[in-house]
Amino acid sequence: MKKNDLYSKEETFFQSKNKIYSAQSVKQIVYSTDIRDFGQVAKSIPCQDACPAKTNIPGYIRAVFEKRYGRAYELNRSANILPGVLGRICARPCESSCRHGETDNGQSVGICHLKRSCADLKPSSHRIIEGLYTPTEKKVAVIGSGPAGLAAAHDLSILGHKVVIFEGMDKPGGMLMYGIPEFRLPRDLLMLEIQNILRLGIQLKTNTAIGSDISFAQLKKEYDAVVVATGCVSPRKFDIPGGNLENVYNGLDFMKAVNEGENPFVGDKVIVIGAGFTAVDCARSAIRLGALDVSINIRKTIEYMRIDETEKYEAQFEGIKTYSLIQPSRIIEDNNKVTGIEFQRTRMEKIDKPPYRVSIPIENSQFSVPTDSVIAALGQSPDMSIISKKPDGMDGVFAAGDFVTGSSDVISAIAGGRKCAGKIDEYLVGKKRKRTVVRLENHATTDRQRSYDFIGKVVMNTIDMEKRLSKSTREVETGYNEDQTHEEAKRCYLCNLKYEIDPLVCIYCSACIDVAPKDCIKMIGNIPVNPDGTYGIYEETDDWNQVLSIAIDNAECIRCGQCLAVCPMDCISVTKTELIEIDT
């Protein structure tokens, strides 16, 4: 085909959308490794940047909008391995960075709920796509089948290595299986997504503890590399008088017991200590075990709780109260049984290094409340006992996930596992086989209607209190239906579309500024460059003599396309920017 034919064909395509686009708009794809493009992607797609696994969020939401749920699922899976699981219990750092949630923009997009929809709505004919590399004959042992271990195993397996996972417990999944309650994460779904990873030929050895069943040294000998992904399993000690009484639980053990189907005694009145999601899970489980009065008791204020608004709301909805600025000082007993707990009040103080706010107990401020049981969910730390020195990869021993970072969240663990797999691969084959580039593609339209910006966040469907109590494992959130999914998907601004004014064509008429819905188009005098080579924040000017250019600030832009519609010079271009992995 001659070049001219190609040109005219594409032009006809664009004309059919009632607008003729200039030659620059004709589809061109560029793969960039320029630091400025990475900087731009990070700055203007804040959700993706906030995601530890760098999930292509606008990309999959667009696919959801187009009702290509399978495609959306794969876009997720290629980054975060367990979309169905994460779609329920992810810590959602993306949503706190979502541009839609910024001041005056409304509420952030339900990114997590949409992830769940990909998994829920993908057709039965959906096929999982994996780009398998040739076998390398290398063997890797992964210790721990939690999210970090699974992610590492998955990537290593794809890269052609033979992987064996060693799991001390009866079932795989780690915290996913034993830490998170079933009413938040159904176990059949969890097993399905774990199976999807194991199907790559990964061997899973459960009930195999390192140290007792097989020694770490032996692993090192038998395998070319070892990954320690045992997470954080040692609960922080509940170090107050009476902390070891009957009916005083640590949060993790309590959840493990609940998740194994035991019904630990809670009584009528339960005191939960702790400010993280485990504390909330414990409290909500206690309600399901028949407790009538459950409270979460925290040392600092509610603002400092490490849980998101949904969890906060659900806990309140289930009648759980929160008492703040108190810390336990003593458990009151009668006949070796808990009858109450003594608290001490605290106040907030500032410490300078590092600048942080802490709670300080107030002397002689003790008071006590009666209770039947106490659950202390104070966090966990990694169990270092199986290894002799900190893994650094030098001798083929690597580590990933919470074991490295300390107690974090599932998505960080997955990202850690994948990153670790990349390092191991480099160690095993002697070179970097994959790298990330920015894919830039011209895009003809905004893909959106302005009215989408005014759709309110679709509320997640949940079951009522009666149903929650009738069967304690019944999933509380029931997911969006297809219509709700479509509606929520409309809300995404598609920040992966970059809007740019060509300063050489622009006639400075400022028509775009007049129609701008926000302070998103600016007269700029200078674009500073950051030390790392990326572009900094535009410096604005009111003085026409100083105006370097009229520019669209993609960190303010809500991609409404008003500017595009009014520009008399057609000098505003839209470019789709995506981070993708390619072979080196």
Partner 1 sequence: MPENDHYVIIGNGPAGNHAAATLRQKDKDAKITIISDECVPYYYKPRLTDFIAGEIAKEDLMVNFQDVKDIRIRCGQAVKRIDPDSKLLFLQHMEKIEFSKLIIASGSRARVLPTMSGYADHLKFVTSYTDVMEYKEEIRKAENFFIFGGDLVGFKFFKMLNSMDKTVTIMIDPDAFWPYRLTRDMLEQISENLLKFNTEIIVKDEVLSIDRQNGSYRVKTRKGIEKNVDMVLSFNGLNPNIEFAKGSGIDIDYGILVDEYLKTNVDGIYACGSCAQIYNQAIKSYTTSIGWPNAVVQGEVAALNLLGDHKIIESVGQKYFDLEGVKIKTTWWEDINEDNDA
Partner 2 sequence: MKDINIVIEICGSAGEGTISAGEITSRFMSSQGFEIMSFDSYPAEIRGFGKCVAHTRISSRQIYSPGKLADVLIALNDKHAISQLSTLKENGILIYDSQPARPHKEDESVAGWAKPGMISYGIPLNMLAHKASGNARGMNMVALGALAALFYVDKSPFTDSIKTRYAKKKQIVIDSNVNSFLEGYNWTKENIKKIDPHSFKDITLPKPKEKLIINGNQLVARAALDADLSFYAGYPITPATKIMEILSRELPKHGGVLLQTEDEISAIGAVIGAGFGGKRAMTATSGPGFALMTEFTGLSVMAEVPAVIINSQRAGPSTGIPTKTEQSDFNSAVLGGTGDCPRIVLAPADTKSCYEATVLALYLAEKYQTLVVVLLDFFLSNSIRNINIPEKPSSEYLDANIAPDKNDFKDYQRYKITKNGISPRAIPGTPGGMFFSTGLEHDAYGRPNYSEAGHTAMTQKRFAKFNTVLTEAPAPEISANDRDEFDIGVISWGSSAGAAHEAVMSAQKEGINASSFSSMMLSPFPEKALIDFSDKCKKILIPELNFSGQFAGFATRILKRSVERLNFITGRPMASEDILQKMREM
Footprint of partner 2 (CB under 8 A): 104, 449-451, 453-454, 515-519, 560, 562
Q: Say if residues 229 and 399 touch (Cβ distance below 8 Å).
A: yes
Give me the sign of the Cα torsion angle 445, 451, 454, 456. Answer: negative
Site residues for partner 1, 339-398, by CB under 8 A, read 345, 347-348, 350, 357, 362-365
Residue found under tokens 């990475």:
38
Helix ranges (H only) for 223-297 are: 251-259, 277-288
Give whichever of 9 and 347 is closer to partner 1, judged by the CB atom: 347
Q: How far is the CB of 480 from partner 2 (least distance, A)?
A: 23
Residue 413 binds which entry of partner 1, partner 2, none, CB below 5-8 Å type-dependent = none
Q: Say if residues 557 and 522 touch (Cβ distance below 8 Å).
A: no
What CA–CA distances, in Å, run from 296 to 61, 319, 389, 398?
36, 11, 38, 38
Residue 348 binds which entry of partner 2, partner 1, none, CB below 5-8 Å type-dependent = partner 1
CA–CA gap between residue 172 and residue 190 (Å, rounded)? 9
Residue found under tokens 């064996």:
164
Give whichever of 303 and 483 is closer to partner 1, judged by the CB atom: 303
Residue 454 binds which entry of partner 2, partner 1, none, CB below 5-8 Å type-dependent = partner 2
> Nearest CA to 273 among 371, 410, 362?
371
Give whichever of 105 and 368 is closer to partner 2, judged by the CB atom: 105
Give whichever of 337 and 347 is closer to partner 1, judged by the CB atom: 347
Burial class (CB in 10 A: 0-12, 13-18, 19+), 226: buried
Q: How far is the CB of 479 from partner 1 (least distance, A)?
A: 20
Q: How far is the CB of 559 from partner 1 (least distance, A)?
A: 21
Residue 141 binds which entry of partner 1, partner 2, none, CB below 5-8 Å type-dependent = none
Site residues for partner 1, 79-108, by CB under 8 A, read 103-104
CA–CA gap between residue 315 and residue 408 (Å, rounded)? 21
* Stretch 132-151: interaction string toward partner 1, x if CB under 8 A: --------------------
φ, ψ of residue 293 to 5 degrees: the values are -135, 100
Cis amide bond preceding 354, omega within 30: yes
Give whichever of 345 and 433 is closer to partner 1, judged by the CB atom: 345
> Nearest CA to 564 among 29, 113, 6, 22?
22
φ, ψ of residue 94 to 5 degrees: the values are -60, -40
Stretch binding partner 1 (CB under 8 A), from 59-67, 207-215, 300-308, 383-391: 300-308
Q: How far is the CB of 493 from partner 1 (least distance, A)?
A: 20
* Stretch 302-341: interaction string toward partner 1, x if CB under 8 A: xx---------x--xx-x----xx----------------
Q: How far is the CB of 408 from partner 1 (least distance, A)?
A: 22
CA–CA gap between residue 251 and residue 271 (Å, rounded)? 11
Site for partner 1, rule CB under 8 A: 103-104, 301-303, 313, 316-317, 319, 324-325, 345, 347-348, 350, 357, 362-365
